[in-house]
Structure 1
Amino acid sequence: MENGAMIFLGTPHRGSDSAVSLHRLLSATVGSKSFIQELMRNSGTLTAINEDFRHHARHLNLWSFHETQPTSIGPGKSMLLVERSSAILGYETEGSSHIDADHHGICKYASPEDPGYCSIKKLIAYILSNIPKELSAHSPVKEERQTGHGEVGVIRRTTRAFLLSIAAQMAIYLPAFYERLIEIDQDHMNIHSMSTRILWQKVFVDTLFELPMDQPWYFVLDALDEAEKPNEVVAYLGKIQSRAQIRILMSSRLGMDLDREFQKLRLSYDVFRQETINSEDTKNDMRAYINRQLETLPFNLEDRQEVISMVLTKSQGIFLWVTLAVEEILATVHSKTGVQEALESMPSEMSDFFQQILDTELQAALKPEFGHLLSLEYTINQVCPHLLKLEETTLLVQPIHATVRDFLLQEPPSEFAVDSGDAHQKLAKITLSIWDENTFTEPISFKTSFSRKHEALTQVQPLLQYSAQSWYEHLQDATVDKNLVICLKHFLRTRVLSWIESVGLLGSLRSLTQAGQVLDRFSLQCPLTIVDRDLFSGWAVDLVRIVPKFGRNITRHPFSIHKLIPPFCPYRTCIGSQFGSNGDIVIVGSAMKKWDDCLAHITVGRDGESCKALVCSDAYLVIALSDSKGAFVVYLAETCEEVRRLNHGERIGAMDMDSTGEQVVTGGLKFIRIWNIKTGTMTAQFENDQGARCLALSFQSDNKKIISIASDNTLSIWDLEKMDRVHVSLAYKGWPIEIWDTNKREISSTIPARNPLLARFNPTSNDVYGVDEDGTLSRFVPETGFQLEIDAQSHVLRCNPNGTLLATGNGEGCLQIFTSDTLDLLYKLDKYDDSITDLAFSPDGNRLYDIRSSDCNVWIPQVLLVNAQKDEASSEESESSRPPISSILESSNSLQSIGSLVSNSTGGVRLDFRLDFRVDGAIRQLLMDDKGQVLLVSSERAASMFALSDGSIIGARRVHSKRESPCWLTHPKDPGTLILFTSEFIKLYSWDDFRELTRPGGIPLVHDSINHGKQWKFENENIRTQAYITHDGLHIVSAMQAVGERTASTQCGFWLVSHFNEKSESIEEVSNINDIYIHSMVGVFRNRAVFLDRELWVCTRAADETGDVTRHFYVPSDWLNTSEERPSIITALGEFIYDKHGELIIVKKGMRCKQDFGDLSLTSF
C-alpha cells in the first residue's frame, strides 16, 4: 500500500437497474429528480467518474463489498438495489467480498457483534497492520518515495523554501505547533512573506524548539549540494538548541566541504560526525536492486549472479547508471550474450551516456514536427524517457536527474546543449509579453472576484503566476539584445501596474523588491541609451520604494495600484510621471520630487518628555520615556499607531525585547519588570535590593534569562524560570571593553579602547563594534584580534539583523550607515539638529528607527531596502529642509505645528492684518462669522471674540472643562447664533456680543447608546469634540475622541439642527457611525460625514442610519502624524487638505472615486 486504501460499501459504480423503477415511481407521484437518471446503468456521469478514477486508483488498495439480500421498497415489494456486477470495479488492486445484509444493513449495523461490522473492523485492522511499525501514525516520517530528482530538488532548493517545508511537515504531526503557527500568522506577519532569518527565529527558535516533545525527531536532507546556499543551511541547522531531541542526516555529493562549514560552529564529535560513502559501501544495495529487477528474466541463479557482477563492475558506483542499465537489459535482452552486448554498448561515463541518448533521439527530431500533442506525458515517455519526465503532482517537465541538467549546461557544449543566457532571454520575452494580452486591459481583480487562489488567477492567464514571479529572474541571467530591451521598455511603460496588481493578489511583495534589484543591475551592466537607462533605473527605485509606503494597500486592495496609488507618488518618479494623471485624483502642494527617506514621524512625549530607549519587533515598536514614572509606549510597527501606554513605576534606565517580540523587560533603580506588550500586563518582577541603577538589559537567546548591568559595576543574570539571580563583578569605569561568557561567568576576551561609550555584537558573527567618547567607531574580531577604526563622529550604534550594516548617530543629529566589514560609509543624513538618543532596526532590516528629543522617526533609505553594499560615499538625501509652518495666526506662544485650519464659504480666506494678543493655552480652533467681521479664537481653557475691523476684543469666556476641548460652530438656521458643542451638552451664544442665550448648564445631549450595540461613555478621560454642519443645513455631525487613546475609535453621531434652539429641554442623537472604527474625523462633504478609517481610507457616510459607508481614497502611511492634533479638512468643493509635517497638501477630485465599504471595486474605473 503506497498512499492509502478505500472501502466501498454497496456503491453502484456502474449504476443500478433499480434507478429505473425509482424514476417511474417518482414521476408518477412527486416528480422525478435529475440525479436519479445519473444512477441508471451506463449513464454518462458514472462513465466519466469511473474513467477518471481509474487513473488515480493505481496507488490505492481498494475493497468493495456488495449486498446479498433484497431491500424492501414498499408493502410486499423488495429488490436487490445494487448488484454485484455494479458494486465491484474489477481493478487489479481491488479486493471484493459480500456482507449478508440488504442495502441499508450493509453500512448500518445493529450492534458491535453484527457480522457486517466485524468484517469491516477486521479489514481496517488488516490494512493498518500492513503499515510498518516505524512508520506508524505517531512517527513524523511519511513514506513517500520519489524517483529521480523531481520536485524536491527544484522547489526546496532555497533555504527559505526548505524551512517552510520542514515547518509544514512538523505542523501535521504537532497540533500545538500548528496552533502556534496560526497565531504567528495572524498576530505578527504572514509566514510565507517572512525572510529566511525571521522565519528561522520566529517559527523554529522561538516556537518549534521550545515545544516539549516526548520523542526524538529526524530531519533528512538529501543532496545538500544542490541547495542554492548550502553553507546557509548548515549554519542554521548547526545552531539548533531544542528542548526535544532533533537528529539530522545530510547527504551531499563530493565537492562540498561540509566539515569546513561545521568547523565554524565549533561542534564537538559527539554532536557532528562526517562519513564518506565509497562505491564499496553501496555495492550491496545496488546488488539487491539488480537482483530484484532481473528476477523475471529466464536466467538460472548462476547466470543471474554473473550478470549482476557485470553491471556492478561497469557502474563505478553510480546508482543512476545501474538503473538505466537494468532498464536497457529488461527492454532488449533475452540471453546472457545479449546482456554482454548491451552492457558493452553502454558508455560508462554519464556524459557519454547522455550523448548517446541524444544521438538516438536525433532521428526522432528529424521526423516531421509534432502538431498538437494529445498527451505530453505520452510523448515524453516515447521520445526521451531517459532525459525528461513529467511530475505527476506539479505537471512540470523536469530532467530525470541533476546530472542531466549538468550535461546540458556543461562546457564545452554539445550540439544539443542549452545555452543558459539564450534560454533565459527567450523565457524573459515570453513572461513579459503575456502582459500585452487583452486580459490585462482592466484590473485583474475584477476578473477573479478578488479571489487570491492560484486556480482563479490561472483561469485569467495560465502563465500569470509564473510570469509574475519569474520574469525578472530570467532577465537577470538573460543574454541582452535589442528585442529584449524593447520588450522590457514596453512592459514598464504600459503593463507594469497589472504586474504589480498580480503581485498583490499573490501576496508576494518580495517580488517587487527583487525585481527592483534586478532592474538596478540591468541598468548598470548593460549597454543602454540614456533614456532607457533612466527608465530602468527609475523603476528599480520605484519598485523598492512602494513596498514600505504602499505595500499594505497593494496586498489588501491590489486594484488600487492603477489609479489610487500613482497620484500620491513623487511626480518625478517613473510611476508618478507615467501614471499619476491616469485617475481622477490630483495632488497639489506636495514639493516632493523624489522619494523621501522618512516613512513616518511619531510624537511620543505628550508634555515634552524626551525618549530614552526603543526596541522593536515585526509587530510592535516600544519607546521608553525619561519621565519619573517610567512611561513606555507601545505602537503597531506597521502603522505606527499607539496601542497603549504603560508605567514601570520609576525612571527607566534600560529596556530590551525578547526574540518573540511579545515580551519587554524594563529596569530602573529598584525593580526589573517583564511585560507582555500584547496584553499590557506585567508577567514577572525582580526587586533590585542592591540599590544600583540599571544601565543595560538583555534577554538571552532562549528568552529564559535576563542579563543586567548596574551602576555599581555588577552584572546580574536573572532566571525567569527559577526567579533568582547571580551576581558577577565587572570592571571599573574607563576600562577596556570586555566580552563575558555568561555560562562560565568569566571574561573571555578584552578589546582595547580609550574611553568606550557603547559596544554591540554582530548578530551573525562574533565581531564586536564600539564607539568611544571622541566619536571613533571600531570593529574588533575576537578570534584573530583584528581591529579596524574610523573617525565616524558617532555616539550610538546598532547592527542590522543580517549583520551586514551598521547604523550610527550622534549629538548633532547626524545619521550614518556603514558596511559592517570594511566600515565604508553608505548613507549620511544630517538635515536635523536634534541629538539621536537610540537606534533600532526592524527585524527584516528594511526600516531604521531613531529617537530624538520627544520624537521617533522611521527611515527607509534605499541602502536598507535593497541591502546593498556598494562602494559609494552616500545615497541621495531627502529634499532640502524648509522652515515648518508654525500656525495660521502667529501668537506669542509660537506654536510648532498646525493646530487649526479655518475656511470660509468660498473655500478660502484672506487675512489683511495680524492680530497680536495672548491667549490662555494652545489655540484649538478659529471660527469666523458669516459676514467675515468677527473672529472667535478658542484655546485650551477659554474662548475670545475679536472684531476683524480693528482687532478689538468683543468678549471672552472661560467655558471649558478641565477634561474636554469643545467645538464652536455657527447655527446654520440662525447665522447670528453661535453654538458651543461638548460631549454632554450644547450652549448658544450671540455673535454680536458673545452673550449666552441658553439657561445655565446648557441643553443636555442624549446619545444613542443602543444603536449598533455600543455604549457611549468616556470615563475619566480627556475628550476632544468636533462638530460640523451638513451642506443642506439639516444635520450636525459630531465627533468625540478620548485624548491620548489614539487607538480608540472616534464616536461619531448625527443631530437634527431643528432641535438646536433655546426652548429644547434636551437633544437626542438621530443616528451614529459607531459600528465602524473611525481613526479621525475630517468634516462633511455635501450631506455626508467624512472621516479616516483604520486603514487611513477617506470615507463618507450619510446621516441616514441605513446609509452605506463609501471609501474614496487612502492617505499614504508616510503622511502619518501621530501628534495629538490630526489637522485635516474637507472643503465645500470636496478638496481634502492635510498637514503633512508642516506641508499643506491638497487632494483634488478625490471624492469622485467611490468604493463601497464591503466591495472591493471602484466605480470610477
Structure 2
Amino acid sequence: MNLLYQRVLESMEMTTGDSGRRVAKAILKWVSCAMRPLRTEELTGALNLDLGDKYDALEEMTPKLCGQLVAIDKFGNVQIVHETVREYITGDDLQSAFAVSKSQAHTRLAMICLSYLTKSNVLSWIEGIARTRILTPIIQAATNLRAYVKKCDAPNSQELQAIRGATTDLIRVIAKFSDALTAAPASIYIFIPPFCPRTSTLYKAGMRCRTTSLSISGLSYDHWDDRLTCIDLQSDEFTSIAYGDELFAVGTTSGVVTIYHATSCEEHKVLNHGETIRLLQFRPRSDILVSCGLTNVTVWNSRTGAEMYKLPAPFRPIELHFDNDILVVASRRNFLRSWDLNSNATPQANKPWSHSDAETPKPSSLQPCAISFSAGHQKLAVAYVGQPVTIWDLEYDEYYGSCGKMLVNGEISKHPVTSLSFNPNPDIRLLAVSYLDGQLTLLDPFEGEELGSFRANCRALTSSPNGRLHGGVGACETIHIYEFGTLKLLYRIRSSELDIKQLVFSRDNFHFADIRRSQCNIWEPAMLLRETVAGDWGESTSMSVIEATTSEDKIRISTMVLHDQDQVVICGKDNGSVCLHDARTGAFLQTLHRHKCQVRSLTWQGGNHVAMSVDMANRIHASILTKGPGGWASTEFPLQLDCGHAIVQLLRSESTNRFILSARESDYLWDGNGKQIAARPYLEKQGVRLWIEHPLSESHAICFEGEIARILCWEDCSEVSCRQLAVNMAGLQLKSLRRYSSGHKRRMLLELTELNGSSRTRGLYVFDAASFKLENEMPAAKRAEREKAGFNRLIDMDIPAVQAALPSEVNSSLSDPVVGEETTQSYPQQQVTDPLFRPQLMALSRHVSHIIHLSDTGKLVFLDTNSWVSSIDLDGFEKSTPATAPAPAPEAVPGPRSTSPPIQYSRHFFVPHDWYSGTRDIVSAATARDVFFARNGEIAIIKNGMEYYEEVTVGISV
C-alpha cells in the first residue's frame, strides 16, 4: 500500500501547481488531524482561516487536488479514505511535499482556533452548537477546559484563573439560558451576557466585544449564586417536599400543597389537603401526586389539580412508596397499608414487618426511628432504638437480615439511627446510615459488610435518582453532598438558618431543594450539571463551599408602580416600608411611610401626587409626593384606615377624591378624609372583583364581577347600569383590568387567570368603552326610589340579581343571585356586551404568561410563556379585522373551522426563570424603552431591550 500511496503523492505533485499543492496539503493536514470527520462547510471555514483566502467549491476541488486519498460521502463528510493513508502521510520518514508532521500540524490547528476564538466573535462557537439544539458539547467543553487547567504547571496564573472561571460560566449558561439558546442561538451575543454576573468571563467578553447595547442597572450581581430561588411563606411553615418528573410540590402546616414547575419554579397549582402535610410523593413517570397527613391520604392529578381519591391514613404514617401501581404507606406500628391505584384504589391486605426472624412474624412493639424503601431490590430498611438496622424482604414478605456499622468487638452497632437511605439505582447495592453519635456509614446490606464510616454529624439523608450522589444535613445546618459510592465530600453549603427539615434531589439530578421553617430553597450547583453530564467522577476532587443567603438578608419588594413622569419608582416592601427608588439606576432614595407588616398593594395618583398602600393587615397609609429644587419631598397623608376584611384592590378617583376598597366580602366607599360613605356587602363570596374608573365619565366607576359589569356612582356607590359580558369564565377568575386609547376610542383590557390555581394569564378580552356609555344620568326621582329599595348611604347594600339569559358560550355559574333573602330587585333584560378581537386575543392569550404594562396607546408589553419579554400593538387588530366579533348564536350548527390571517407579536429579550421563580405574582413595570423587575430586594432595570425584536407568528382559528 505504501508504494500505491507514494505514486498518488507523486502524481499530485506533477499535476498541481504551487497554489494547488498549498491547498491540497492544507486539506490533508486538517482531515488527517481532525478528531472526527469534518463537514464540507467546516473544512471550508478552516481553509479560509488557515490560508487567508476563500474556497467555496470544495466538493469539486478536493477530488482534483487530493487524488484518491480524501473522499466526500453523501452526507457531506470529508475524511481520509482509509486509516492506512493517515498513517502513511503522517509518518516521520515520509519525504514528500504533502507529508504532515503531527506536532507541527496540531500546533498550527490550535493556533488558528485560538486566533479565531480571541477575536470579537469569541462566542460564535456557542451559537453554532446551539443551532443543533443539543447543548451537551458545551458542558463537555467546560469539562475539558477544567481538565487542561489541572494539568498546567502554574494553576494560579491570571490566565488560568480566567479559564477556570469560564468553565463555570459555560455550565451556568446552559443551566439558566438553555431555552433562550435553543430558541434564538444568536442570543449568546445580545441577550445573555448582560444577565451574567459582572465578574464573569462571559459578561466581560460581551462588553469587550460590544455585541449588545442592552444593559442592566440596579443589581449588585457580581458572582454566580448556587441558590436558584427561595420560596418564602409569610404566615405558614413547610413540612414536606417532593420532586416529580416535571413538577415539584411542597406541603405546609396549614394543609396547603403548592405545585411548581421544576425548571422555572413557577407556581402551577394550589391544593388543599385539609390537615398538616406530613408526607408527599410523586409516582414515577406519571402525573399522580400523593399527600399524607395524620388522618387522610389524598391522591391528586398534579396536572389538573383534581382530587382522585381520599383514603384513610394508617396510624402515624412515616413513609410513602410506590411499587408500580401500588401505593404503599408505612405506619409506625410496623405494618404497610396499600392500595391498587390501577383498580380504583382498591385496598390491599395490611402487611406487618418484624425486626426478628421468627417463623410467624408479628409487628414489633418498638416504633421505628428511620425507614427507607428500595424499589429495585424490593427491600425495606428499618431502624429501631437499641437494635441493628433491620432489612425486610418485600417480595417474599419475610425477615432478610440485619446490618449496621461494626464495633471494635466485632458486633453490629445498636446505636440510635437518625436517617437511612437506600441507593435508588438497582445496580448499586448500598445503604447509607447516619447515627446519633455523628457517624455516617456506608453498608452493603445484602452481604452485611461495612464499606466506610466517618464522623459527619449528618441527618436527613437523601439520594439522587441516578444513585451517584448522596446528601445530608450536617452540624450547624450545613448541607453536604457526597459521592454515594465512596462518601467523598464533593460540595458543601453553609447556612445561618436553623431547622432544615428535609433535603431532596430533582428527578433530572441537576437540582436539590431543602425546606426550613417558612423557606424552601432550590439549589443549582454547577457541580451537579457538570458531573451528571460529563460523567467523570475522577476529576471531582475540588470542593465548593458557599455561604447560603437567606431571604432575611435582603428586604424583598412586594409591589411597585412607576411615577407618571418615569423619574422614580415607588416600591412596597415586605418589611412594611414604602420607598422611592431612582428609575435610572434603581438606587434607594428615601422612605415615604411605613406599615407594620408586608405591603400588599400600591397605587399612585399623578394628579394629586398621592401614593396609597395597603398592607397584609388591611391597613391603608398614604403620602403626598412632590419634587422641589432640593429633590423629592414626601408628606405622610393623615389617612390611616383599618379595614376589617382582606383588601383585594384599592381604586382612587382623582376627580372626586374618593376611593373604593374592594374585599371579597364587601366593597367600601371612603372619602379623602378617611370617612366611610357606603358599603356593598356580598352575602355569598363571589370571588375576585375588579374596579376601574369609567373611561367616559369621571363621576362613575365600573365593577367587573365575573361575567357581569356594574356601573356605579362615585357619589354614593349606587348602581346606575349593568352589562352582561359575553366571556367564558368557566374555571377562571379576574386578574387585572386596564384602560387604553385607540385614537379617539377608549377601551379596556380584561385579563383572566386560573381559578384557585396558577397566576399565569389564561384569557384576554378587550371591551369598547362605548358599550358602557351612560345615555342619561339617573334622575333624582329614580335615585330616591332606589334608596328606598335599600341603596342608602352607610347602609349595607345588597347586589341585585341578574336574570338575563346568557349566550351559549358563556358559563352561567356566576349569574345566580348572590343577595340576601330581602333582595327582590332584578333587571328584566341586560345588555350583552361582546368583546372586540375575540379570535386574535384568544390566540394571543395562549402565549402570554404575565402582563407587564399596557401603554395609553394600546401597546401591550408582556412576558410570554417561554420567558421572553414581548409586545404587541392592540390597535393592529382593528386594521385587519372587523371591530366586533359576536359570540355564536345558540342555534348555530358547528361546522368546519375557518382560519383568519395570523397575528404577530414582537419578542424582545429573554428573562432567566430564576428572576421571578418562587413567587406567585411577578413584580414588574415598563416604560417606552425600559423594563423593570423586582429581584432579590433590588430593582433590575433592563435598558434598550425593547430595541431588539423578532416577530413571532401566531395562527388563529375561528
TM-score by length of 2: 0.64
Query: Residue 1113 in 1 paired to residue 909 in 2?
Result: yes
CA RMSD of aligned residues (A): 4.6
Structure-2 residue corresponding to 1:586 = 215
> How does 1:1122-1161 map onto structure 2 within 5 Å?
1122-1131=918-927, 1133-1158=928-953
Richer in helix (by share)? 1
Query: Residue 513 in 1 paired to residue 166 in 2?
Result: no
CA contact (8 A) 2:471 2:479 kept: yes
CA contact (8 A) 2:227 2:524 kept: yes
State the identity %: 22
Q: Measure the CA separation in 2 of the matches of 1:1120 and 1:1089.
A: 20
Structure-1 residue corresponding to 2:333 = 712
Query: Residue 846 in 1 paired to residue 617 in 2?
Result: no
Larger Rg: 1
Structure-1 residue corresponding to 2:263 = 638
CA contact (8 A) 1:614 1:839 kept: no
Structure-2 residue corresponding to 1:452 = none
> How does 1:458-497 map onto structure 2 within 5 Å?
484=114, 486-490=115-119, 494-497=120-123
Query: Residue 1004 in 1 paired to residue 722 in 2?
Result: yes
Structure-1 residue corresponding to 2:765 = 1053
Aligned partner (choices 498, 515, 520) of residue 124 of structure 2: 498
> How does 1:317-332 map onto structure 2 within 5 Å?
none
Deviations along 1:258-295, whole A, 9 cap, x unmatched?
A: xxxxxxxxxxxxxxxxxxxxxxxxxxxxxxxxxxxxxx
> How does 1:668-817 map onto structure 2 within 5 Å?
677=302, 691-700=314-323, 703=324, 707-715=328-336, 724-725=348-349, 727-731=351-355, 732=366, 733-734=384-385, 735-744=387-396, 745-751=398-404, 752=413, 754-764=415-425, 765-773=428-436, 776-782=439-445, 783=447, 785-786=449-450, 788-809=452-473, 814-817=478-481
Call closer, same or farther: CA 1:896–1:533 in 2, change over 3 Å: farther
CA contact (8 A) 2:335 2:350 kept: no
CA contact (8 A) 1:616 1:841 kept: no
Call closer, same or farther: CA 1:418–1:1043 in 2, change over 3 Å: farther
Q: Measure the CA separation in 2 of the matches of 1:983 and 1:684.
A: 31
Deviations along 1:306-337, whole A, 9 cap, x unmatched?
A: xxxxxxxxxxxxxxxxxxxxxxxxxxxxxxxx
Residue 166 of structure 2 aligns to a residue whose secondary structure is: helix
Q: Measure the CA separation in 2 of the matches of 1:945 and 1:649.
A: 36
Call closer, same or farther: CA 1:1061–1:375 in 2, change over 3 Å: closer
Query: Residue 1069 in 1 paired to residue 781 in 2?
Result: no
Gaps of 5+ in 1: 1-356, 433-483, 1010-1015, 1161-1165
Structure-2 residue corresponding to 1:598 = 227
Query: Residue 616 in 1 paired to residue 239 in 2?
Result: no
Q: Measure the CA separation in 1 of the matches of 2:656 and 2:484.
A: 62
Residue 946 of structure 2 aligns to a residue whose secondary structure is: helix
Aligned partner of 2:354: which letter?
A: L
Aligned partner of 1:561: which letter?
A: I
Tell me how far 1:860 sits from its aligned partner.
0.8
Q: Measure the CA separation in 2 of the matches of 1:957 and 1:794.
A: 61
Aligned partner of 2:835: which letter?
A: E
Residue 816 of structure 1 aligns to a residue whose secondary structure is: strand
Residue 843 of structure 1 aligns to a residue whose secondary structure is: coil
Structure-2 residue corresponding to 1:397 = 79
Structure-1 residue corresponding to 2:642 = 918
Tell me how far 1:559 sits from its aligned partner.
3.1
Q: Measure the CA separation in 2 of the matches of 1:873 and 1:673.
A: 41
Residue 1113 of structure 1 aligns to a residue whose secondary structure is: strand
Call closer, same or farther: CA 1:669–1:977 in 2, change over 3 Å: closer
CA contact (8 A) 1:503 1:509 kept: yes
Aligned partner (choices 944, 953, 970) of residue 674 of structure 2: 953
Call closer, same or farther: CA 1:539–1:879 in 2, change over 3 Å: farther
Tell me how far 1:614 sits from its aligned partner.
0.8
CA contact (8 A) 2:244 2:506 kept: yes
Tell me how far 1:938 sits from its aligned partner.
5.9
Residue 953 of structure 2 aligns to a residue whose secondary structure is: coil
Structure-2 residue corresponding to 1:351 = none
Tell me how far 1:980 sits from its aligned partner.
4.7
CA contact (8 A) 2:166 2:202 kept: yes
Structure-1 residue corresponding to 2:483 = 819
Deviations along 1:462-519, whole A, 9 cap, x unmatched?
A: xxxxxxxxxxxxxxxxxxxxxx4x55433xxx22433222222211111222222223
Call closer, same or farther: CA 1:606–1:878 in 2, change over 3 Å: closer
CA contact (8 A) 1:846 1:864 kept: yes
Call closer, same or farther: CA 1:947–1:957 in 2, change over 3 Å: closer
Call closer, same or farther: CA 1:932–1:778 in 2, change over 3 Å: farther
CA contact (8 A) 1:941 1:958 kept: no
Aligned partner of 1:1007: which letter?
A: L
Tell me how far 1:741 sits from its aligned partner.
3.2
Q: Measure the CA separation in 1 of the matches of 2:742 and 2:230.
A: 34
Residue 1157 of structure 1 aligns to a residue whose secondary structure is: strand
Q: Measure the CA separation in 1 of the matches of 2:947 and 2:82.
A: 58
Q: Measure the CA separation in 2 of the matches of 1:658 and 1:1039.
A: 35
Tell me how far 1:404 sits from its aligned partner.
9.6
Tell me how far 1:797 sits from its aligned partner.
2.3
Q: Measure the CA separation in 2 of the matches of 1:659 and 1:406.
A: 52
Structure-2 residue corresponding to 1:1026 = 737
> How does 1:860-871 map onto structure 2 within 5 Å?
860-867=524-531, 870-871=540-541
CA contact (8 A) 2:244 2:284 kept: no
Q: Measure the CA separation in 1 of the matches of 2:850 and 2:834.
A: 23
Structure-1 residue corresponding to 2:285 = 660
Deviations along 1:663-711, whole A, 9 cap, x unmatched?
A: 44555567767666456677889877xx4333112234xx255554211
Aligned partner of 2:443: which letter?
A: F
Gaps of 5+ in 2: 25-58, 356-365, 367-383, 405-412, 532-536, 557-572, 579-591, 612-624, 626-631, 777-829, 881-902
CA contact (8 A) 2:670 2:677 kept: no
CA contact (8 A) 1:771 1:778 kept: yes
CA contact (8 A) 1:1024 1:1043 kept: no
Tell me how far 1:640 sits from its aligned partner.
3.1
CA contact (8 A) 1:1050 1:1081 kept: no
Q: Measure the CA separation in 2 of the matches of 1:513 and 1:903.
A: 51
Query: Residue 567 in 1 paired to residue 231 in 2?
Result: no
Residue 165 of structure 2 aligns to a residue whose secondary structure is: helix
Call closer, same or farther: CA 1:960–1:784 in 2, change over 3 Å: same
Aligned partner of 1:1119: which letter?
A: W
CA contact (8 A) 1:825 1:873 kept: yes
CA contact (8 A) 1:781 1:787 kept: yes
CA contact (8 A) 1:718 1:726 kept: no
Call closer, same or farther: CA 1:856–1:760 in 2, change over 3 Å: same
Deviations along 1:97-150, whole A, 9 cap, x unmatched?
A: xxxxxxxxxxxxxxxxxxxxxxxxxxxxxxxxxxxxxxxxxxxxxxxxxxxxxx
Aligned partner (choices 858, 862, 865) of residue 1094 of structure 1: 865
Q: Measure the CA separation in 2 of the matches of 1:654 and 1:568.
A: 38
Tell me how far 1:758 sits from its aligned partner.
1.9
Q: Measure the CA separation in 2 of the matches of 1:934 and 1:672.
A: 50
